[in-house]
Amino acid sequence: MSQADLALALRAADVADAVSLPGFESRSFRVDHKADASEVTEIDRNT
């Protein structure tokens, strides 16, 4: 992986954190089940 690709991946992770963490910290979110019966939060779906 090139340094540019790594930098992009790290930036994308930072943005995803900024979008999703406030929702998880509020502890006020819905949990649904996917077709395979595993759980997914509305925050995950919206991120």
Q: What is the pLDDT of residue 46?
A: 85
Name the residue ranges covered by the structural domains of the chain: 3-46
Measure the CA–CA gap between 21 and 24, rounded to whole angstroms. 5
Pairing between strand 39-41 and 31-33? antiparallel
pLDDT digits 0-9 by tens, 1-47: 899 999 999 999 999 999 898 888 988 899 999 999 999 999 989 88
